[in-house]
Amino acid sequence: MIKNIDDLIEHIEKNDGFKFQIKVIANSKVNSIEFLDGTIKLKIIQRAIEGKANKAIIEYLSKVLKKPKTKISILKGEKCSVKLIGIEK
């Protein structure tokens, strides 16, 4: 089970990439990531209008995971709050 950002980075590096599900809360006061009982909750400042939140999610994950944006993609759930994220090694 992934309990923190270091665990997530370790999973990505051990495997040839990694897929994981996140619950997104857009229009938050700050960008943050929480790990709660096997669920990853991502709060993002950007509003969910015209794909702006999706772009902000990729930018934030790129910064936190220290990966290029080109290695991060939203595989499923572009128009809902639960998303499947893919990270290439």
Based on the structure, what is the number of domains in the chain? Answer: 1
> What are 7-52's pLDDT values in tens digits?
888 888 888 878 999 999 999 999 999 998 888 999 999 999 999 9
More confident residue, 8 or 76: 76
Per-residue confidence (pLDDT) for residue 18, from 0 to 100: 87
Per-residue confidence (pLDDT) for residue 63, from 0 to 100: 95
CATH of the domain at 12: 3.30.1200.10
pLDDT band at 77, cuts 50/70/90? very high
Range(s) of the domain holding residue 32: 5-87
User: Which residues, at least 6 apart from 22, have a Cβ–Cβ distance to it below 8 Å?
Assistant: 40, 41, 42, 57, 82, 83, 85
Rounded distance between C-alpha atoms, residue 11 and residue 5, angstroms: 10
